[in-house]
């Protein structure tokens, strides 16, 4: 595998007088979390392969403010939002793609009220569009016939009604898509949303991610597919707690596609 990722920043392109087709919003998890960085790179590899003109903000990107807002800190959220909007508006950003449903939801739904109006898509929607435009081609590869179950991220699914794009991509891998007891509108949270990722859970019988992992394992999958870096962490932890890490892999849709194409 080559390490040479082409990742232009908005600042570089701007200096050259260029405007990319789309801004790739990496997000904090995608930038700093070791597991999520792999998702980021997988997505970039696909973008590179498809010759998509994109750019990232790099050091000019900051937290969207989602966890602060959901924790109740509206001040901090709006400070973050207004700062990010100023940066994006300065670069005349039109379209944003992100692999994080929390960034997706916030930029899509909460930034317009503060002056940030962009077309925002989740990376699974973007990949599906690339596919239907013929800009990428996909074959099953190593996932042909494998049992894959998809965990709906709340902030992609229920929050914004995106259920089919990730599923269509899994089907394109010629994989066997198996649904959990709770899926789509009735999906069960991974336990990380609403700023829960950053605190200990309240007392209860078990952790939400364990409950959700049990549902996923109930489908006897070879792979649990996710579309959110936080879901990915929670499900990976769940699989570990069930000592199934040797049998079941947790992978992002972008990773599935990148792996299938040997990128």
Q: Could you tell me which of 137, 151, 100 has the C-alpha nearest to residue 121?
A: 100
* C-beta closer to other proteins: residue 96 or 173: 96
- DSSP string computed for 84-138: HHHHHHHTT--EEEES-HHHHHIIIIISGGGT---EEEEHHHHHHHHHHTTSS--
Rounded to whole angstroms, the Cα distance separating 191 from 23 reads: 29
Which CB atom, from 118 or from 143, has the smaller least distance to other proteins?
118
Q: Identify the burial level of 189 via C-beta atoms within 10 angstroms of its C-beta, where 0-12 means exposed, 13-18 middle and 19 or more buried.
A: buried
Kindly state the smallest distance separating residue 177's Cβ from other proteins, in Å: 22
Report the C-alpha gap between 36 and 38 in whole angstroms.
5
Please, which residue, 131 or 180, has the CB nearer to other proteins?
Answer: 180
Closer Cβ to other proteins, 143 or 157, answer by number: 157
Give the bridge partners for 224, in sequence order: 149, 250
- Smallest gap from Cβ 222 to other proteins, in A, equals 25
Cβ distance to other proteins smaller for residue 159 or 263: 159
Smallest separation (angstroms) from other proteins to the CB of 148:
22
Distance CA 216, CA 179 (A): 8
User: In whole angstroms, what is the distance from residue 235 CA to residue 238 CA?
Assistant: 5
Q: How far is the CB of 253 from other proteins (least distance, A)?
A: 19
Nearer to other proteins, 50 or 87 (CB): 87
Rounded to the nearest 5°, which phi and psi values hold at 129?
A: -65, -45
Q: Which is it for strands 223-226 and 95-98: parallel, antiparallel or unpaired?
A: unpaired
Residue with smaller CB distance to other proteins, 64 or 236:
64
Q: Report, in Å, the least distance between residue 116 CB and other proteins.
A: 11
Residue with tokens 């991610």: 209
CA distance 41 to 35: 10
Output the smallest distance, CB 114 to other proteins, in A.
6
CB of 159 to other proteins, least distance (A): 3
């Amino acid at each position: 595998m080559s390490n040479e990722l082409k990742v232009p920043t908005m600042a570089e392109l701007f200096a050259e007088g260029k405007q990319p087709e789309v801004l790739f919003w990496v997000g904090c998890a995608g930038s700093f979390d070791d597991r999520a960085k792999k998702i980021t790179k997988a997505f970039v590899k696909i973008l590179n392969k498809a010759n998509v003109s994109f750019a990232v903000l790099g050091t000019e990107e900051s937290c969207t403010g989602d966890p602060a807002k959901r924790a109740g800190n509206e001040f901090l959220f709006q400070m973050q939002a207004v700062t990010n909007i100023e940066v994006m508006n300065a670069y005349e950003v039109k379209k944003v793609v992100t692999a994080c449903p929390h960034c997706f939801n916030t930029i899509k739904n909460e930034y317009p009220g503060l002056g940030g109006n962009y077309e925002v898509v989740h990376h699974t929607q973007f990949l599906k569009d690339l596919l239907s435009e013929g800009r990428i081609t996909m074959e099953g590869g190593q996932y042909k016939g494998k049992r894959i179950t998809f965990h709906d991220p709340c902030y992609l699914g229920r929050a914004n009604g995106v259920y089919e794009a990730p599923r269509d991509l899994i089907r394109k891998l010629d994989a066997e898509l198996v649904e959990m007891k709770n899926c789509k509108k009735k999906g069960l949270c991974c336990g990380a949303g609403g700023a829960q990722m950053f605190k200990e859970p309240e007392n209860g019988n078990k952790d939400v991610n364990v409950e959700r992992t049990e549902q996923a394992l109930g489908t006897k999958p070879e792979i649990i597919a996710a579309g959110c870096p936080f879901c990915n962490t929670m499900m990976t932890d769940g699989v570990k707690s069930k000592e199934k890490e040797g049998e079941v892999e947790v992978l992002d849709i972008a990773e599935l596609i990148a792996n299938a194409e040997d990128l």
